[in-house]
Each structure stands twice: as structure tokens, then as C-alpha cells.
């Protein structure tokens, strides 16, 4: 099932960046140094109008713009991307905001499609995806590998997962947890695409 995208890519990026509250941090720096917008504009080569829009969150700054401002205030770029308002993470992704990707952009017969379920959250300790597996033969899917662990919960249909040279079959309601540093494959085994929630975690230290 293809998701309906209700916002443009630029709008999504702007919404994600707004979580860092860059405009507020910029204004705090300027007021702390007691610099007027006009004077900051002279130092950075940016107009006072543009700086005002940045402070009010009406414009999304480019990295070049932030780098120029950072030099004036003698801070690193991490000043703008570090602390996120001191709040615990609570990141919402609405159904219409997700974008559908393929496992390999250049493949005419992708092994699976996926949508990121928590792309709005920064510094998270896991990744979660909604995956769709079209009907594929064993020789049509490609092995892949990544560090960490993986949990797959089948929402509907039947999915074949090959692990350590053996294919295992999973049906609606089944789940499997495995070491994803071992080469593995997925494939749909029903005419209608199968769907699953896939959660991956970083490697243990």
C-alpha cells in the first residue's frame, strides 16, 4: 500500500530542523553579545531581514549560513544541533508524512520497500520501519548485512527470511529476532505483498 505524502520534502526537512530550535539559539547568542540585527548583518554579509526570519523560524538556514554566523559568535556548529530544548524525546510521524523507499534504488525488482517510522526522532537507540515484501523467488533477492540486531514482526502475508544458509517461513503474527551482522535476505511468498514491522538496533559495545 503506497503512502499518501501530504507535505513536500522541504516542509518535512523544515519540520525536522525546527526540533533543534535553531532560531531561538541564534537570537540568544545575538542578545547575549548585545548585537543588533543590522550589525550582525554587516558581520555575516546577510540582510537584517533574513536574520530576523531565521530567528523567527520562518527560514531554514543552510549549513553555509550557520557556519558564517558561528564564526561571528565563535561557537561551533554543534551549538545549534546539540541540546534539543532539554526535553525528553517525543517525536511524532503522521501516516501521510512517510516516504516510501526501495532496498536498492537501481533495482527493477526490489526485494522490499520500506518507510521509516521514526525519522523525526534524533539520537534514538533503534530504527523502526514499515516494510513491504512483494512476491519474489529465492534467486531474485540479494543478501545484505548490517551491524546490530533485528526484530521482524509479520503484520500480514508470508515472508521468507534466509539466515545462515537456511530459509525460514513466517506468517501473520509471527516474529523473529536475529543477529543482523550475519548475511540475510527477505522475500514475499504470497501474491499480495506481505507487510512487517522491522526494528534494528546498533551493535553492543
Q: Kindly state the average pLDDT of the residues 146-167.
A: 96
Q: Domain 95-201: which topology?
A: Jelly Rolls (2.60.120)
Q: Is-contact 21 85, C-beta < 8 A? A: yes
CA 184, 190, 194: angle at the middle one, nearest 5? 65
Please say whether the beta carbons of 204 and 146 come within 8 A.
Answer: no
Q: Considering only CA atoms, which of 152, 156, 155, 159 is closest in space to residue 200?
A: 152
Q: How confident is the model at residue 132 (pLDDT cuts 50, 70, 90)?
A: very high
Average pLDDT over residues 156-179: 97
pLDDT of residue 57: 84
Q: Are the CB atoms for 18 and 57 separated by under 8 Å?
A: yes
How many CB atoms are closer than 10 A to CB 13? 12
User: CATH second-level architecture of 20-81?
Assistant: Orthogonal Bundle (1.10)
Look at residue 182 in the predicted model and tell me its pLDDT. Answer: 95
Looking at the chain, which residues constitute the CATH 1.10.260.40 domain(s)?
20-81
pLDDT of res. 1? 44
Are 125 and 201 spatial neighbours (Cβ–Cβ below 8 Å)?
Answer: yes
Q: What average pLDDT score do residues 53-75 get? A: 86
Residue 166 parent element (H or E): strand 166-171
Cell numbers describing residue 203? 551493535
**Where do the CATH 2.60.120.10 domains begin and end in the chain?**
95-201
> Mean pLDDT, the chain, as a whole number?
86
**Is pLDDT at 87 greater than 70 in this prediction?**
no
Give the best-scoring range by mean pLDDT among 77-86, 102-111, 121-130, 141-150. 141-150
Amino acid at each position: 500500500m503506497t503512502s499518501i505524502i501530504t507535505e513536500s520534502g522541504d516542509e518535512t526537512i523544515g519540520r525536522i530542523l525546527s526540533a533543534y530550535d535553531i532560531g531561538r539559539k541564534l537570537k540568544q547568542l545575538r542578545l547575549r553579545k548585545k548585537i543588533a540585527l543590522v550589525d550582525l548583518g554587516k558581520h555575516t554579509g546577510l540582510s537584517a531581514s533574513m536574520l530576523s526570519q531565521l530567528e523567527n523560524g520562518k527560514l531554514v538556514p543552510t549549513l553555509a549560513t550557520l557556519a558564517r554566523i558561528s564564526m561571528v559568535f565563535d561557537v561551533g556548529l554543534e551549538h545549534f544541533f546539540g541540546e534539543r530544548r532539554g526535553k525528553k524525546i517525543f517525536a511524532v510521524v503522521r501516516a501521510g508524512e512517510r516516504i516510501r523507499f526501495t532496498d536498492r534504488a537501481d533495482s527493477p525488482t526490489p526485494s522490499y520497500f520500506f518507510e521509516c517510522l521514526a525519522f523525526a526522532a534524533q539520537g534514538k537507540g533503534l530504527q523502526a520501519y514499515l516494510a513491504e515484501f512483494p512476491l519474489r523467488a529465492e534467486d531474485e533477492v540479494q543478501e545484505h548485512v548490517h551491524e546490530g540486531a533485528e526484530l521482524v514482526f509479520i503484520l500480514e502475508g508470508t515472508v521468507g527470511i534466509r539466515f545462515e544458509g537456511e530459509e525460514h517461513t513466517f506468517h501473520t503474527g509471527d516474529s523473529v529476532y536475529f543477529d543482523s551482522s550475519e548475511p540475510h535476505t527477505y522475500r514475499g511468498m504470497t501474491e499480495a505483498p506481505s507487510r512487517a514491522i522491522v526494528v534494528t538496533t546498533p551493535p553492543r559495545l
